[in-house]
Protein backbone atom coordinates (compact mmCIF):
# COMPACT_ATOMS: atom_id res chain seq x y z
CA UNK A 1 0.00 0.00 0.00
CA UNK A 2 1.41 3.41 -0.94
CA UNK A 3 1.78 6.17 1.64
CA UNK A 4 -1.04 8.11 -0.07
CA UNK A 5 -3.32 5.08 0.15
CA UNK A 6 -2.39 4.56 3.78
CA UNK A 7 -3.10 8.22 4.57
CA UNK A 8 -6.49 7.96 2.88
CA UNK A 9 -7.29 4.81 4.88
CA UNK A 10 -6.28 6.50 8.15
CA UNK A 11 -8.34 9.57 7.35
CA UNK A 12 -11.41 7.56 6.37
CA UNK A 13 -11.15 5.59 9.62
CA UNK A 14 -10.84 8.86 11.53
CA UNK A 15 -13.83 10.31 9.66
CA UNK A 16 -15.94 7.34 10.78
CA UNK A 17 -14.78 7.60 14.39
CA UNK A 18 -15.98 11.21 14.41
CA UNK A 19 -19.50 10.38 13.28
CA UNK A 20 -21.73 12.66 15.37
CA UNK A 21 -24.28 9.87 15.80
CA UNK A 22 -21.81 7.55 17.54
CA UNK A 23 -18.83 9.50 18.86
CA UNK A 24 -18.30 9.74 22.63
CA UNK A 25 -17.47 13.39 23.22
CA UNK A 26 -16.30 12.68 26.76
CA UNK A 27 -13.68 10.11 25.73
CA UNK A 28 -10.34 11.80 26.49
CA UNK A 29 -8.29 8.96 24.98
CA UNK A 30 -10.22 9.19 21.72
CA UNK A 31 -9.66 12.95 21.64
CA UNK A 32 -5.89 12.51 21.99
CA UNK A 33 -5.92 9.83 19.27
CA UNK A 34 -7.94 12.07 16.97
CA UNK A 35 -5.89 15.23 17.44
CA UNK A 36 -2.64 13.29 16.98
CA UNK A 37 -3.94 11.74 13.75
CA UNK A 38 -5.14 15.13 12.49
CA UNK A 39 -1.74 16.68 13.10
CA UNK A 40 0.32 13.70 11.87
CA UNK A 41 -1.69 13.40 8.65
CA UNK A 42 -1.57 17.10 7.84
CA UNK A 43 -5.30 17.64 8.14
CA UNK A 44 -4.39 20.76 10.12
CA UNK A 45 -1.17 22.15 11.49
CA UNK A 46 -0.85 23.21 15.11
CA UNK A 47 -0.94 26.83 13.92
CA UNK A 48 -4.09 26.28 11.81
CA UNK A 49 -5.79 24.51 14.71
CA UNK A 50 -4.88 27.29 17.13
CA UNK A 51 -6.01 30.01 14.74
CA UNK A 52 -9.27 28.24 13.88
CA UNK A 53 -10.27 27.94 17.52
CA UNK A 54 -8.68 31.19 18.78
CA UNK A 55 -6.31 29.50 21.16
CA UNK A 56 -2.58 29.27 21.73
CA UNK A 57 -0.35 26.82 19.92
CA UNK A 58 0.94 25.60 23.26
CA UNK A 59 -2.63 24.65 24.27
CA UNK A 60 -2.98 22.58 21.11
CA UNK A 61 0.33 20.87 21.85
CA UNK A 62 -0.72 20.13 25.44
CA UNK A 63 -3.96 18.59 24.14
CA UNK A 64 -2.07 16.49 21.59
CA UNK A 65 0.36 15.07 24.13
CA UNK A 66 -2.31 14.48 26.78
CA UNK A 67 -1.21 17.03 29.37
CA UNK A 68 -4.60 18.75 29.10
CA UNK A 69 -7.96 18.03 27.50
CA UNK A 70 -10.61 20.42 26.23
CA UNK A 71 -13.97 20.55 27.89
CA UNK A 72 -16.25 17.89 26.35
CA UNK A 73 -18.70 20.64 25.34
CA UNK A 74 -16.06 22.03 22.94
CA UNK A 75 -15.42 18.71 21.21
CA UNK A 76 -18.48 18.61 18.92
CA UNK A 77 -17.29 21.81 17.25
CA UNK A 78 -13.71 20.57 17.00
CA UNK A 79 -14.80 17.21 15.59
CA UNK A 80 -17.12 18.89 13.06
CA UNK A 81 -14.22 20.98 11.74
CA UNK A 82 -12.01 17.88 11.58
CA UNK A 83 -14.69 16.00 9.62
CA UNK A 84 -15.07 18.91 7.19
CA UNK A 85 -11.31 19.06 6.63
CA UNK A 86 -11.00 15.29 6.18
CA UNK A 87 -13.94 15.27 3.76
CA UNK A 88 -12.28 17.98 1.69
CA UNK A 89 -9.04 15.95 1.55
CA UNK A 90 -10.43 12.52 0.70
CA UNK A 91 -13.42 13.69 -1.29
Angstrom CA distances, 6 to 13, 65, 90, stand at 11, 23, 12
Res 2: pLDDT: 84
The closest alpha carbon to 64, from 88, 28, 12, belongs to: 28
CA angle 8, 49, 32 (to 5 degrees): 65
**Average pLDDT score over residue span 6-27:** 94
Res 24: pLDDT: 94
Radius of gyration of the chain (CA): 13
pLDDT tens, 33-89? 999 999 999 999 999 999 999 999 999 999 988 899 888 889 999 999 999 999 999
Instruction: Indicate whether 1 pLDDT > 80.
Output: no
Is the CB of residue 70 less than 8 Å from the CB of residue 10?
no
Instruction: Indicate whether 16 pLDDT > 90.
Output: yes
Amino acid sequence: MSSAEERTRVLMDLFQKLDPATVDYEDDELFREVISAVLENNVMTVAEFADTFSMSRSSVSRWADGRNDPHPAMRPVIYRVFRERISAIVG
